[in-house]
């Protein structure tokens, strides 16, 4: 049996992508208006997002952005035609990981916030394929894919990491 005919959900070419970037780095500027709109939308009214004196009194140099705003600020927006059925934009520069699966589901996300992100910062995100594992579940085999996105500021400091999991069947 040829390697490409091997059974399983994870083909060798997908496994070879582990550790590699899944696209070009993407950058975005943290603006006061967008950070505050995001904070209000998620109902996080912490004064450090809205009042510079409160942010400084709390030990920050200026206004802080809500932590998960990082994921929002680096989204590359497009046209309505670029939206998938789930409302997420198709990634134009992102490499796909081709698995032998019919559907992929969101399996969760965890974050490590390392440094504050301030209004005026420029943040760059780089996503890599962190791991691929095939497992057996009650409903049969599935592939667990983990990506890791590293967020750095304009000074090259890592401000956060996010690990996203997908389940493919």
- Token output for 33: 């208006």
Backbone angles phi, psi at 135, to 5 degrees: -130, 165
Give the model's confidence band at 88: pLDDT under 50 very low, under 70 low, under 90 confident, else very high: low
Mean pLDDT for the stretch of residues 64-81: 83
Mean pLDDT, rounded, for 106-111: 93
Half-sphere exposure at residue 67, Cβ-oriented, CA atoms within 13 angstroms: 10
Q: Which residue has the higher pLDDT, 85 or 141?
A: 141
pLDDT at 89 > cutoff 90: no
- Indicate the pTM of the whole model: 0.84
SS3 content of the chain, % helix, strand, coil (to 5): 20, 35, 45
Look up residue 132 and give its two tokens: 């691929």
Around Cβ 59, how many Cβ atoms within 10 Å? 8
| pLDDT band per the 50, 70, 90 thresholds, residue 2 | very low
Q: What is the pLDDT of residues 6-55, one digit of tens each?
A: 578 999 998 999 999 998 999 999 999 999 999 999 999 999 999 999 99
Domain boundaries of the chain, sorted by first residue: 3-168
User: Quick one: pLDDT at residue 91?
Assistant: 59
> Distance between CA atoms of 138 and 12, rounded to whole angstroms?
25
CB neighbourhood size of 79 (10 A):
7
Instruction: State yes or no: pLDDT of 95 exceeds 60.
Output: yes
Average pLDDT, rounded, for the chain: 88
Indicate the fold that domain 3-168 takes in CATH.
Thiol Ester Dehydrase; Chain A (3.10.129)
Distance CA 151, CA 38 (A): 18
φ and ψ at residue 60, rounded to 5 degrees: -95, 155
Check residue 98 and give its pLDDT.
83
Torsion over CA: 26, 143, 103, 108 (sign): negative
Cα–Cα distance between 169 and 101 in angstroms, integer?
Answer: 5
């Amino acid at each position: 049996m040829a390697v490409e005919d091997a059974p399983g959900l994870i083909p060798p070419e997908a496994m070879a992508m582990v550790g590699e970037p899944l696209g070009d780095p993407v950058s975005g500027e943290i603006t006061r208006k967008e950070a505050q709109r995001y904070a209000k939308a998620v109902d996080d009214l912490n004064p450090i997002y809205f009042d510079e004196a409160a942010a400084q009194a709390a030990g920050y140099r200026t206004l802080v952005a809500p932590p998960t705003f990082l994921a929002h600020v680096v989204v590359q927006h497009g046209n309505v035609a670029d939206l998938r059925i789930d409302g997420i934009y198709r990634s134009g520069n992102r490499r796909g990981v081709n698995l032998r699966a019919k559907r992929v589901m969101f399996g969760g996300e965890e974050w490590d916030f390392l440094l504050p992100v301030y209004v005026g910062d420029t943040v760059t995100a780089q996503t890599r394929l962190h791991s691929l594992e095939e497992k057996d579940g009650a409903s049969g085999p599935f592939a667990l894919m983990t990506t890791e996105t590293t967020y750095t500021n304009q000074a090259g400091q890592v401000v956060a990491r996010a690990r996203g999991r997908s389940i493919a069947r």
